[in-house]
Structure 1
Amino acid sequence: MSFDELIGHLYRALFARHPSPRSLFPTSMEFQRAPLARALWYLIEHLDRPDAIVETFTQLGRDHRGLGLLPAQYAAFETALGEALRAQAGPRWTPELGQAWLRMLRFGVTALVRGAEAALREPPFWRATVTSRRLLAPDLALLRLRPHETFRHRAGQYVALESPRLPRTWRPYCPAGAPGAREDIEFHVRRTGPGGVSDALVGGTAAGDEVRVGPPRGNLTLDDAADGELRLVARDTGWAAMKALLQELDRRHPWLTVVPVVDTSPERARDRMAAALTRGPAPAAGRP
């Protein structure tokens, strides 16, 4: 089955029967295809793990609140996807096959609706102003945003950002700093290709522009009850989440010592990281 053709059938069927949701999606649907394909593959490959499907698709339902989708609109999506599957299968379609797909789809859509309903009382997004944009490299920018309203998140969580240059298209990023460390929220954005959100943020965003920030998500957070050694490994812009976690740790434990493992040579950096990760735990002397 070609997922690209299937998704094309899906959107044509959805917008033909229900034109109103079309305004909630980007002008170009190109950037919607890959996430939808990944979600469908996840659903197929995890049918033997229903708990994982419920957790993942409930989160997807919460995340899609930023698009303005309402729980009732997922029923139209389910119907359109069933129609697309029948068109894609052609003469191979049978009632038994249809029932199997329907059960699978309804299981995933039920979790999506549950997530969307759970998020109805929280804002779908926060408006924020870009206070500074600094290019660290031709394809890497450091952005600082100032939310217009109170925005609470935990170190290690991620949020989705939407650029005014690419309306209704969102991409997740981790704030690079513990909450409350400063009034602005810092993001490290690497351009991954032309035409996407990262391209708009790195190459087309300036101080004074307004962006939208989605609700905080994710569980890469510190356990208050956790104790013992902690090793944080990241590369490139993945350092943002680690920076936030380290700042939070520093507030809790003044004795904290950070030993960065960096090198201008990728080969030496890998060797130094391997050596650091295989070392035994540091002595506890000096800790309170």
Structure 2
Amino acid sequence: MSDLARLLKESWTLVEEQQDRLASYFYAKLFLSNPQLRDLFPVQMDVQRARLLNAVVTAVQSVDDPERLNEYLRALGRDHRKFHVSSEHYDVVGGALMDSLRTFAGEYWTPEFDQAWRDAYGVIAEKMITGAETDRDQPPYWHAEVLQHERRGRDIAVFTVRPLQELLFRAGQYLSLECRYQPRLWRTYSMANAPRKDGTIDFHVRALGAGWVSSALVRRLKAGDMLRLAAPMGSMTLDRRSTRDIVCVAGGTGLAPIKALLEELTRYNRTRWVHVFFGSRDRDDLYDLECLNRLAARYPWLSVVPVCSEDPDYPGEQGNLNEVVARYGPWQNHDFFVCGGPSMVRTTLRTLAELQVPPARVRYDAFAES
């Protein structure tokens, strides 16, 4: 570990248990120093506070992985164009962040910690600005019309949109979107298809209990509505150079990017076996199993294993998704794609480590609205 990484991680432990208070203080400082910035953010700030901290932690944890850090920060800079962020805003944000860290670390904050965060934030800001600048030939966001909207089960919807301008992305990526029912609240969702000639994009959304946006997308969105879509992000994409067989692990609507990867594979794959484990609480939540079974019937290289964790009468596999995946191994020579809620992704990654699957062969995304 480099000295910079050590100092960043060591200093973060001083404030880690006060994350929520630190984030509230940060935004208070930010808006007091530049009140105009408040208009860039939603009225409800709870999720935004969490996202700031997630971004900070991701950057800190990636400082010894320059390639991953560079890709993440450039994509983050492109994504933040939707907020109309300019290069001048980064100085204001940096000042508020440094003041917040000093305040909550208190007497334990050292000049070495201060310099480490100044250096790290300088790199973060530079790469985000570069990412935004290289994306100037694209709009800050795309307007898209909802073409179809279908309810699936209790709290899931599948809908299709068409951007009014060409939006380039890769199967397995995600983007943040905004709907008119909750203006200035952007939430992250994966595209559920590979790029198509007609430009249409599918999304799978579950309405969360306290989810402002997810509830609107499931219960209020309808054909004809307009959405705003931000720049695509994420690296959970296929490596066509790999000849290894593939295992996809999807929890709930984490199936969306897996569906996109499968759609891409149907266009060229002939030699790689693909195993999909699709997990849910009960059979009613296996909202897209019929489509997966049709694909498996059409493509002999694809197998689908549905799993229910809380349905004792389900005739198929039962139990936690990660445990079922482990039973079907060994998997040391496979490429893995994992997507679902944070808890499901963590347990699956832990299981794969125990099964001695090399980390470099595991790509994953974890989403939660709060």
CA gap of 1:97–1:185, structure 2 versus 1, over 3 A, is closer
Q: Structure 1, unaligned stretches of length 5 or more? A: 282-288
Amino acid at match of 2:305: V
2:149–2:221 contact (8 Å) kept in structure 1? yes
Residue 117 (structure 1) aligns with: 133
Q: Distance in 2 between matches of 1:142 and 1:240?
A: 10
Name the one with the larger strand percent.
2
Tell me how far apart the structure 1 counterparts of residues 331 and 101 of structure 2 sit (CA, whole Å): 53
Q: 2:120, 2:183 → 1: CA distance?
A: 32
**What is the total number of aligned residue pairs between the two structures?**
281
| CA RMSD in angstroms, aligned pairs only | 2.8
Q: Which amino acid aligns with 2:318?
A: E
How far off its partner does 1:168 sit? 2.2
Task: Return the alpha-carbon distance in structure 2 between the equivalents of residues 137 and 16 of structure 1.
Answer: 45
Counterparts of residues 1-288 of structure 1 (less than 5 Å):
1=15, 2-90=18-106, 95-180=111-196, 184-253=200-269, 256-257=299-300, 258-264=302-308, 265=314, 267=318, 270=321, 273-278=325-330
Matched to 1:164, the amino acid is R
Does the CA-based 8 Å contact 1:261-1:272 persist in structure 2?
no
Q: Which amino acid aligns with 1:180?
A: R
Relative CO higher for 1 or 2, CA cutoff 8 Å, sep ≥ 6?
A: 1
**Which amino acid is 2:76 matched to?**
L
Q: What CA distance in whole angstroms lies between the structure 1 residues aligned with 2:193 and 2:105?
A: 49
TM-score (norm 1): 0.84
Separation in 1, partners of 2:245, 2:65: 32
Normalised to the residue count of structure 2, the TM-score between the two structures is: 0.67
Residue 95 and residue 175 in structure 1: after superposition, are their counterparts in 2 closer, same or farther (change >3 A)?
closer
User: Alpha-carbon deviations, 1:37-74, whole Å to 9, x = none?
Assistant: 11222344444445543332222222211222122211
Q: List alignment gaps of at least 5 residues for structure 2.
A: 1-14, 271-297, 309-313, 334-370
